[in-house]
Amino acid sequence: MSPAGIVMFYGSRDAETAIAEIDDDLTLGVAVGTFKFTRQAAILDLTTLPRRFGFFEQQSDSSTVNRYALDFLHNFVKSLAAKVEPGEREHIDYVPTQVVTEWLRTAFRHAGSPLDGILYRSAQRPGGKSAVLFANKHDLVLSPKQVRGVAKAESDDEWYIRSLHENAWLQLVRKRTVRQP
């Protein structure tokens, strides 16, 4: 969902789905982290869309559902679940979902606020749910020890690193190695 150069956080509701989403090389190691939000997050849930209207189905006058928007969202969800084969067309095939995701990330507002991410059905694991969060490295909550480590690694002052993370909202609470390389 993220075009080249746009950083986003990909995760899943459970470790099995996260591993299924990324595990395409059994020679590589796999680690799983558990994260929590440190503030309310506005997540668009595409896993529980209302059913589509039939082509000839009448919509009641009192309905507030926009059948065209609903149809678009169903098609978007279908595009998210489509398998894209690596190769020459890989980057082209991702463009439609990237464009919609970028619009949701930058322009769409819910109750006047931007979205923090999208929850969607996993394309790799039936029944699994995955998420893309519109978070970058500055949205990660850092401990004082981590601030010192980042400051040292990036040759910056600790106060500067803390200032970059002052509005951080995603915190790593647990990590474990699933498979060694």
Q: pLDDT tens-digit profile of 79-123?
A: 887 766 666 666 667 788 889 999 999 999 989 999 999 999 998
Q: pLDDT tens-digit profile of 139-148?
A: 999 999 999 9
| pLDDT value, residue 91 | 64
Asked if residue 23 lies in contact with residue 30, where contact means CB atoms within 8 angstroms, the answer is yes
Residues 125-131 have a mean pLDDT of: 94
- Identify the CA nearest to 97 among candidates 130, 66, 73: 73
| pLDDT value, residue 86 | 67
* Residues with Cβ within 8 Å of residue 132, at least 6 apart in sequence: 1, 2, 8, 9, 10, 101, 117, 118, 120
Q: Which two tokens stand for residue 76?
A: 């978007």
What is the model's pTM? 0.85
Q: Which amino acid is at 92?
A: I
Percent of the chain with pLDDT over 90: 63
Asked if residue 81 lies in contact with residue 124, where contact means CB atoms within 8 angstroms, the answer is no
- Identify the CA nearest to 72 among candidates 95, 102, 97: 97
| pLDDT value, residue 62 | 77
Rounded to whole angstroms, the maximal C-alpha distance in the chain is 64
| pLDDT value, residue 33 | 96
